[in-house]
A and B are shown apart, each in its own frame.
Chain A
Amino acid sequence: MSMSAADAAARSSQVSSPVGGGRRKPVAVRRRRLGETPAAWLLIIPVLILFSITVIYPLVETIRLSFFDIKGLGKPKFIGTGNYIKLFTDPAFRNTLWTTLVFTLGTTTITVSLGWFLAMLCSFAPQRTLPFRVMIFAAFGISEAVSGYMWISMLRPDQAGLLNSVIGLFSPGFAHPWLGDPNTALWMIIVAASWSGVGLPLMLCFAAVQAIPKTVLEAAYMDGAKPFAIMRFIMVPLSMPGVRVAIFINLLGALRAFDIIYVLTGGGPVRSTETVGYFMYRESMTQFKLGYGAAATVILLVAVMVISIPAIIQRTAGAK
């Protein structure tokens, strides 16, 4: 406790600097530097222009559209927050929130835990497991639309489907319409999405484990630590930065999921696999209610920001 207090005091003294005005000085220095280097502005302007075109403009335009009632190619009508009010009273949208939550938690849990587990295993024999890691990571590079079509053939409702035929080895004649059953369709999509997504957590966690200094492991070994203890007290805690990044990336990807759902079920049956991302597509692209779809997009954007901003702040806090 006393050490912590001392640490805190030391940090505090470093930040507040000796004589009052220490906080102002760096700002003044920064201002002077920017003023002195117009070249800096010249260099930053292309980035600012690109950022404005690719990020700021679409963002502002989406928010603007969300306040309009637009049907098809007809003229937009300003309705204020009407789309937002309608969204939260729309049972279809409320259903998508729940589906998105299940899908996001499901895929993130499966991909990250499986990826982390495989990374732990691979770290015991990094050279020999290289082909294995490459193969798993290759699935991450396959487009979700393509992998979706592969999963459609595996999940065919008749006995010709791979899953049904494997189960049929133990239960002859077995045939279940996995994607046609509202109780199994979402889980099948979670499995399909996780299959292609497990490569990234595997690589991130593997990289985190590989970054553990060899001296730490050697010291533990010299101190007589058993492999399980090394794993529990060194490898697991020190792989956590990789796990955190993997969770963050997976959460964001799952929240915006669309391709795999579009290909496998089209949001059905009876909207049981419709996530916010798919709802957004359906409203904006199929029904062309751009304003309503834009409002759903803004809601999704807020959800993404709620997750990403604390993570970005946390990751940036230690940056030099």
Chain B
Amino acid sequence: MIKFKGVLGRRALLSGIAATAMLVMGGAAIAQDISGELAILQWQGGVDAEMWKKLEADFVAQHPGVSVRELTITAQGDARGGIRTAILGGEKVDIIINTWPAFRKELADAGILRGLDDQWAGLGLESTLSQSWRDLGVSDGVSYGVPYTYGDRSGIWYKTSQLKDAGVEVPKTWEDFIAAIKTLKAAGYDTPIPMPGKYWAHGEWFESLLLRTGGVEAAAKLAAHEIPWTDEVVKTALRKYAEMLEAGCCGTPEQMFAGDWDLSADQIFKADAGNFLLLGMWVNARAKGDYGLTEGVDYSLFQFPALGMGHDDTSSVDAKELLVTANGENPEAADAFLTYIVSPEATKILAEYGYASPSSNADTSLLGPVQQQATAAVAASKVQFVLGDLLPGDLVDEYRVQLQKFLQDPSDANIDAVTAAIEAKAAESY
């Protein structure tokens, strides 16, 4: 009896130990045992696409049971149409890379996204992303987006040798900036700002000017259509834009409409035919990868000049985030990827390509000097998401076309006409 009891006791003890071990190790074991295919909807090209391949390879190296399938959307400019088509066409992916807050809401409203509030802490995001970054990925009170990189959109890129040779100091104020344009023109540069007016990049100047004239509050209200486009703050920003055009910054409207930002970058960094480019941090990757320039030595960036209107501590920013889908076939792998993207390994790869990460795991010393400068500028600013990415699709199209009309004729009368036209479209878009 005792023996029987003893045998039973030993079995019970072993079972107990095994059960306890499973309970203790269970979570980790499940996390490590993820397998199957992870489908990621990818729409970036060039060096960004190359970076994604590297991130995916590193993730697979950490999780050998997982294979990654990229569903690649080829897009010129706005990739949302391609993403919608893929989704409506029945493509099932686990992760969508997104950069448009308005699109996140559209996907969430359509029931395509999986909310992350319940898992946020469990995935280790609580400790790696601050509340303000979490807030950036929220739509209608639900956390959907996990931001993995962000960029300064109020930084103006330049080639150091050009300014040095022309005897131009990095402009700090608007007056300095206008004076620099005139000096550079006198030095033989016909278009100190080769304005990329073909598609959307001409809006960047308006958006930073709007922030510096009306602050983040006005920009946020405009994005939500809580103030009309005919508001004085919009007109003031456009009048400042007109000052730049009147200083002869950008050549004729025809020259501005002839190319997109890549042609403008070529003009500055390759052909030495222009000087300033206001654009996102992907210029960094292009300057290093495509032009073979050395960051901080051959080229650099300065923050948008101060207008002295009480809002010079503002910056426009963009961010890219990961969204997980509700119908993805491998939610475990998708969750693991969310944890991975804010890990030290992933942030190191991002830094190699010149991208800052909002993760607390990111080592900012790995970033190049220009990226560090931009990161510091954003950290010291009141930030507002890029206006163009916050507007409804049909309005943003009209907004960009009307800005082209403004570039054709920056007079006060036309500013009234242009703002009235955008407002008319906005009235039907919200």
- Chain B residue contacts of A158, Cβ below 8 A: 267, 271, 273
8 pairs, CB–CB < 8 Å, chain A vs chain B: A72-B106, A177-B257, A266-B77, A271-B401, A285-B82, A286-B78, A287-B394, A289-B394
Nearest-neighbour CB distance to chain A for B148, whole angstroms, equals 23
Quick one: CB contact mask for A281-292 with B, threshold 8 Å, 1 for yes? 010111111000
Q: Are B401 and A180 in contact (CB-based, < 8 A)? A: no
Residue B344 is within 8 A (CB to CB) of chain A in the complex: no
Residue B254 is within 8 A (CB to CB) of chain A in the complex: yes
* One of A177, A181, A288 near B81 (C-beta < 8 A): A288
- Chain A residue contacts of B169, Cβ below 8 A: none
Within 8 A of A (CB), among B78-122: 78, 80-82, 84-85, 87-88, 106-107, 109-110, 112
Residue B369 is within 8 A (CB to CB) of chain A in the complex: no
Residue A73 is within 8 A (CB to CB) of chain B in the complex: yes
A158 to B194, CA, bound (A): 11
Residue B177 is within 8 A (CB to CB) of chain A in the complex: no
Q: Are A73 and B256 in contact (CB-based, < 8 A)? A: no
Q: Are B76 and A270 in contact (CB-based, < 8 A)? A: no
Quick one: CB contact mask for A164-188 with B, threshold 8 Å, 1 for yes? 0000000000001111111000000
Within 8 A of A (CB), among B228-269: 252-259, 263, 267
Instruction: Kindly report which residue of chain B lies nearest to residue A155, judged by CB atoms.
Output: B258
- Chain B residue contacts of A266, Cβ below 8 A: 76-77, 198-199
- Chain B residue contacts of A284, Cβ below 8 A: 81
- Chain B residue contacts of A180, Cβ below 8 A: 197-198, 253-259
Q: Using a Cβ cutoff of 8 Å, how many contacts connect chains A and B?
A: 90
Within 8 A of B (CB), among A133-187: 157-158, 160, 176-182
Residue A253 is within 8 A (CB to CB) of chain B in the complex: no
Instruction: Kindly report which residue of chain B lies nearest to residue A75, judged by CB atoms.
Output: B110
Specify the main secondary structure of chain A where it touches its partner. Answer: loop
Instruction: Kindly report which residue of chain A lies nearest to residue B396, judged by CB atoms.
Output: A287
Residue A258 is within 8 A (CB to CB) of chain B in the complex: no
Number of B residues near A (Cβ < 8 Å) is 37
Q: Are B394 and A74 in contact (CB-based, < 8 A)? A: no
Residue B332 is within 8 A (CB to CB) of chain A in the complex: no
In the complex, which of the residues B107, B197, B254, B271 has the most CB atoms of chain A within 10 Å of its own CB atom? B254
Residue A262 is within 8 A (CB to CB) of chain B in the complex: yes
Nearest-neighbour CB distance to chain B for A217, whole angstroms, equals 51
Within 8 A of B (CB), among A43-86: 72-74
Q: Are A268 and B404 in contact (CB-based, < 8 A)? A: yes
Within 8 A of B (CB), among A236-270: 262, 265-266, 268-270
Given contacts A73-B87, A287-B394, A289-B394, whether A270 and B401 have CB atoms under 8 Å apart is: yes
Nearest-neighbour CB distance to chain B for A34, whole angstroms, equals 39
Q: Are B259 and A286 in contact (CB-based, < 8 A)? A: no
- Chain B residue contacts of A177, Cβ below 8 A: 252, 254-255, 257-258
Residue B381 is within 8 A (CB to CB) of chain A in the complex: no
Quick one: CB contact mask for B49-89 with A, threshold 8 Å, 1 for yes? 00000000000000000000000000011101110110110
* One of A74, A160, A269, A285 near B197 (C-beta < 8 A): A269
- Chain B residue contacts of A182, Cβ below 8 A: 254, 257
Given contacts A73-B106, A73-B112, A270-B405, whether A288 and B258 have CB atoms under 8 Å apart is: no
Residue B368 is within 8 A (CB to CB) of chain A in the complex: no
Nearest-neighbour CB distance to chain A for B420, whole angstroms, equals 14
Q: Are A179 and B258 in contact (CB-based, < 8 A)? A: yes
A271 to B401, CA, bound (A): 7
A265 to B76, CA, bound (A): 12
- Chain B residue contacts of A270, Cβ below 8 A: 257, 401, 404-405, 408
Given contacts A157-B258, A269-B404, whether A288 and B198 have CB atoms under 8 Å apart is: no
Nearest-neighbour CB distance to chain A for B268, whole angstroms, equals 13
Residue B176 is within 8 A (CB to CB) of chain A in the complex: no
A72 to B405, CA, bound (A): 27
A157 to B250, CA, bound (A): 14
Q: Are B106 and A181 in contact (CB-based, < 8 A)? A: no
Question: Besides the contacts A176-B254, A268-B198, A286-B393, what 13 more A-B pairs have beta carbons closer than 8 Å?
Answer: A72-B110, A74-B109, A158-B271, A158-B273, A177-B254, A180-B197, A180-B198, A182-B254, A268-B401, A268-B404, A285-B85, A286-B78, A288-B393
Residue B397 is within 8 A (CB to CB) of chain A in the complex: yes
A285 to B84, CA, bound (A): 8
- Chain A residue contacts of B84, Cβ below 8 A: 72-73, 288
A282 to B400, CA, bound (A): 14
Nearest-neighbour CB distance to chain B for A45, whole angstroms, equals 27
What are the nearest 8 A-B pairs in CB distance? A180-B258, A269-B257, A177-B258, A180-B257, A73-B110, A157-B258, A285-B81, A181-B254
